[in-house]
Structure 1
Amino acid sequence: MDQHGSKSDERRELMANLRAGHKAARQRQPARPAVQAPPPPGPAAFDFSELPQLRQLRMHRAAADLIGLDNPFFRPHAGVAGATTVIDGKTFDNFASYNYLGLNGHPEVNEAATRAIATYGTSASASRVVAGERPIHRELEERLARIHGVEDAVVMVSGHATNVTVIGHLMKGDDLILTDSLVHNSVTEGARLSGAARMNFPHGDLDALEQILSQNRHKFDHVLIVVEGIYSMDGDYPDLARLIHLKQNFDCWLLVDEAHSVGVLGATGRGLAEHYSVDPRSVEMWMGTLSKTFSACGGYIAGSKALCDYLRATAPGFVFSVGLSPALAGAAIASADLMEREPERVQRLAANGQRFLERAKAAGLDTGPSAGLSVIPVIVGDSIGAATLSNRLLARGINALPIVFPAVAEKSARIRFFITSEHSAEQIDRAVDAAAEELAKMREENVGFSSLVKSVRQTS
């Protein structure tokens, strides 16, 4: 056999061995499962429109449509909302803004926010506990502590979340939380989160509060009393001196929510303590928001250094949340500076509030217990009537929003007017006159819940 024949035989033998080895390897492998049809599709995502709560909302909307009532909520506004606002290209007198001292959009405030962005960017990019701490945060906290006349303050990214996390964190199952019946939802949610017992006392009734304390204080470890500086629905304020007396006599803590009273109460806008000439260090916690007088967004607790250090180290809403946006911190600092430097803004607001209140009462409007400051309600008496009045005011160039059930009791449904330092006397007079005229027409026309009942009967 020649050389080429030997090589051919070797190649055939090699290929035969490779094929045999491959066959053996395939035999050692487990058999592949037969191809099966894909499983049938699973259930679709839950249809939230089937929730009873949403069905109820649809019923409310259908009832409003039945009587031709436009939805007064979620209307988009263009530009800065102050004493006027722009909706659908038209300018309206605006009584639905928290811009109490007219500082939102102020050139100094805008410039401070711009500088903060240039230095730190738009976000702190981390929780302050780890890598989100910026010098501007402490500068703001020191400024807020100075305004409130206490040792320290701690700032958080949401006013609502501030009450939820602080109350929910400080209070425990063996504690009691006593709240005025008209406190903000954030207080209610914080109390629920805490697991502590909770009791309401009738709005502003400190005799009832004292009675509850007399009967129940001994049953609990810590007791927290929560009130507001100016109540966001009724526009009145509590007797701080007596509250301090009660909390000292019964060994309680006191939290005053000053969301609507900083920049409003007191000769220079420092809030309830300045209004009553009370030492602010007598109160354990001053809570506030940055979204109103301070023309930013966020919340804070002002009080002792020990309390604020503890909250910085342990409060979940602070520890596990990103630090406040530097732009918001810069805007709030500039707003605080302007408030301190220009107390005449606070004085203009007080004068405007008193003008609105006096004229409203003279026109026969029900303003409830409002003190005539930043918040003045005009109580209509039912939700349909309140929404109707709001729409009629809008048709007359006035933006003022209704507050309806369940935010308030149905019989207390109202239009809530927010007063600012920037409103003119003419704007205030127009708003009061229009509200009185339209409300009188509505009562002649029997507009309200009864009109809905009539429409239902006509279509059934």
Structure 2
Amino acid sequence: MAVEGVPLRGLEERLAAAGRAGLARRTVPRPDGLDFMTNDYLGLLSRPELAEAAAEAAARWGTGAGGSRLLGGDCPPHRRLEEALAEWKGTEAALVFPSGWQANAAALSALLREGDGVWSDSLNHASIIDGLRLSKAGRFVFPHGDLDELERSLKRHRPSCRTALIVVEGVYSMDGDVCDLPALRETALRHDAVLYVDDAHGTGTLPPRGRGVFDRFGMKPLENEVVMGTLSKALASQGGFVCCTARMREYLVNFSRGFIFSTGLCPPAAAAALAALELLSSDESLFGALRRNCVKMAEGLHSLGLPASDETPIFPVVLRGPDEALAAARFLADRGIHAGAVRPPAVPEGSSRLRATVSA
């Protein structure tokens, strides 16, 4: 046919351009050897307690939810997990989603509408960015961690916005730094704004108990604060969640299209995540092992003259261009050491890096 392949021409051109720039990607199997790519921060992926909980849930409720939770797909493991997450994070309620990406995109696009304003850190995750685009709210991006600029922008634009929301990450996934939560709370309260914190990489990792960034600062979420997290990192399962007030949960159930029009999280994943929460609450050695490995990794990088903080399990080694990052990753892989080569658009231009993570 004369038109065969025409719709794909643009795709081919884009793929070729990515290859020339050193930005082509491929899927990577779980490696043998030393794995510094994993987000299995507590080493729970292989724990029999999680596998047994998932198997029992599959035998009792099936391998999938069978439909939207509004149309018969609501299962006891969902509700038990939500109750446990809310208690663990210190909120009234929680709502689980099939993935962490979906939790952010579905919640943010529902909480914000045209006429609202959202202030977003420049290094926020892609799922946050896409959720904000879907919302049609006015978007104001402030430089990473620059709360003075956030304050100036709020003073300038907040009066014209019906609702204001500030969105940050508790632990930034590519740099491993922790947000200044006390100052962000003060800013949000001063400007009558909602504070939305993506705690995907703080959950299960931050001292003193692994309960996330609020606990790290000795704080509990207020009514104007929302805590998002994932089940797929330290909790070694699949899915995402939003912890909030009971009224906000009800709002999301009614207005979050990503929740309404999706099949519910599969019961085995919910049961496995609940088992992980129970382990983390009862076995303090898990978190202690992670902390020791973070300290050891930071000391090793310092001995090489590289900057590092032991507060989180994420250790970036910035190497500028994508070719350098790929070459460094290959060099290590040839020696049985596996660290991720992270390139734009996952990180800003000129900051391609090795991203190494440690686990318990």
TM-score range, shorter chain: over 0.9
Shift of 1:62: 5.1
- Tell me how many residue pairs correspond in the alignment: 360
Q: Which residue of 2 aligns with 1:311?
A: 252
AA aligned to 1:120 is: W
1:239 pairs with 172, 176, 180, which one?
A: 180
Structure 2: segments with no counterpart, 5+ residues: none
1:46 and 1:126 mapped to 2: Cα distance? 37
Written as runs of structure 1 = structure 2, the 5 A alignment for 1:355-374 is 355-367=296-308, 370=309, 372-374=311-313
**Per chain length, whose mean CA-contact separation is higher, i.e. which structure has more relative contact order (CA < 8 Å, sep 6+)?**
2
Shift of 1:283: 5.0
Q: Which residue of 1 aligns with 2:326?
A: 387
Counterpart contact for 2:206–2:311, Cα < 8 Å: no
Larger radius of gyration: 1
2:95 and 2:330 mapped to 1: Cα distance? 41
1:76 pairs with 3, 11, 29, which one?
A: 29
Give the secondary structure class of the aligned counterpart of 1:128: coil
Written as runs of structure 1 = structure 2, the 5 A alignment for 1:25-424 is 43-44=3-4, 46-48=6-8, 50-51=9-10, 54-61=12-19, 73-77=26-30, 85-86=31-32, 92-281=33-222, 283-367=224-308, 370=309, 372-421=311-360
Instruction: Encode CA deviations 1:413-436: one digit per residue, 9 max, x unaligned.
Output: 100011111xxxxxxxxxxxxxxx
Counterpart contact for 1:166–1:315, Cα < 8 Å: yes
Counterpart contact for 2:209–2:287, Cα < 8 Å: yes
Give the secondary structure class of the aligned counterpart of 2:276: helix
2:163 and 2:20 mapped to 1: Cα distance? 48
Counterpart contact for 2:223–2:245, Cα < 8 Å: no
Give the secondary structure class of the aligned counterpart of 2:166: strand
AA aligned to 2:247 is: A
Structure 1: segments with no counterpart, 5+ residues: 1-40, 78-84, 87-91, 422-460
Give the direction of change, closer, same or farther, for the CA distance of 1:111–1:382 in structure 2 (3 Å limit): same
Instruction: Encode CA deviations 1:320-358: one digit per residue, 9 max, x unaligned.
Output: 111110110110000010011112212221221122123
Shift of 1:75: 2.7
Could you tell me the percent identity over the aligned residues? Answer: 37
1:146 and 1:335 mapped to 2: Cα distance? 14
CA RMSD of aligned residues (A): 1.8
Give the secondary structure class of the aligned counterpart of 2:71: helix
TM-score, with length taken from structure 1: 0.75
Shift of 1:281: 2.8
Counterpart contact for 2:341–2:353, Cα < 8 Å: yes
Counterpart contact for 1:237–1:371, Cα < 8 Å: no
Give the secondary structure class of the aligned counterpart of 2:174: coil
Counterpart contact for 2:223–2:244, Cα < 8 Å: no
Counterpart contact for 2:68–2:263, Cα < 8 Å: yes
1:283 and 1:419 mapped to 2: Cα distance? 33
Shift of 1:382: 1.1
1:201 and 1:285 mapped to 2: Cα distance? 20
Instruction: Encode CA deviations 1:126-166: one digit per residue, 9 max, x unaligned.
Output: 11101111111100100100110111100011111111111
2:228 and 2:47 mapped to 1: Cα distance? 25
